[in-house]
């Protein structure tokens, strides 16, 4: 499933997320989390639909405690939207694909201005 998004770590986060020229949606998740197992196929479906306009990335919070703390991830799953190196939006908790698409469309609209 990971072919629609990139895995990011503390080492490649600045280059892959903060320096990216387009909107980046970072999915903070844990492999063993039931909530994340529900969110994963929704994230993948949306990433397939928007991969030409948005970069999608995943951070494994179990392995990347530094990033988890830096971005104050206090619950998973959490989606953080970055543009120009700055966080511009955040979704905490499970979001099904139709609602996630609507949220993403709104962020794309605002981020393009």
Is the predicted pLDDT of residue 112 greater than 90, yes or no? Answer: no
pLDDT value of position 20 = 95
Is the predicted pLDDT of residue 17 greater than 70, yes or no? Answer: yes
Q: Which residue has the tokens 């949606």?
A: 25
**Backbone phi and psi for residue 30, each to the nearest 5 degrees, phi listed first:** -130, 135
When pLDDT is averaged across residues 82-109 and rounded to a whole number, the result is: 96
Summarize pLDDT for 24-34 with one digit per residue, the tens: 999 999 999 99
Token duo for residue 46: 């949306």
pLDDT value of position 111 = 85
Domains of the chain: 2-111 (3.40.30.10)
* CB contact at 8 A, 35 and 83: no
């Amino acid at each position: 499933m990971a072919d629609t998004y990139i895995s990011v770590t503390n080492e490649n986060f600045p280059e892959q997320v903060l320096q990216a020229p387009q909107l980046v949606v970072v999915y903070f998740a844990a492999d063993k989390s039931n909530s994340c197992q529900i969110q994963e196929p929704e994230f993948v479906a949306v990433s397939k639909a928007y991969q030409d306009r948005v970069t999608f990335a995943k951070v494994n919070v179990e392995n990347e405690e530094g990033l988890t703390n830096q971005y104050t991830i206090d619950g998973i799953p959490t989606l953080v939207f970055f543009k120009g190196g700055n966080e511009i939006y955040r979704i905490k908790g499970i979001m099904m694909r139709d609602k996630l698409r609507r949220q993403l469309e709104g962020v794309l609209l605002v981020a393009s201005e």
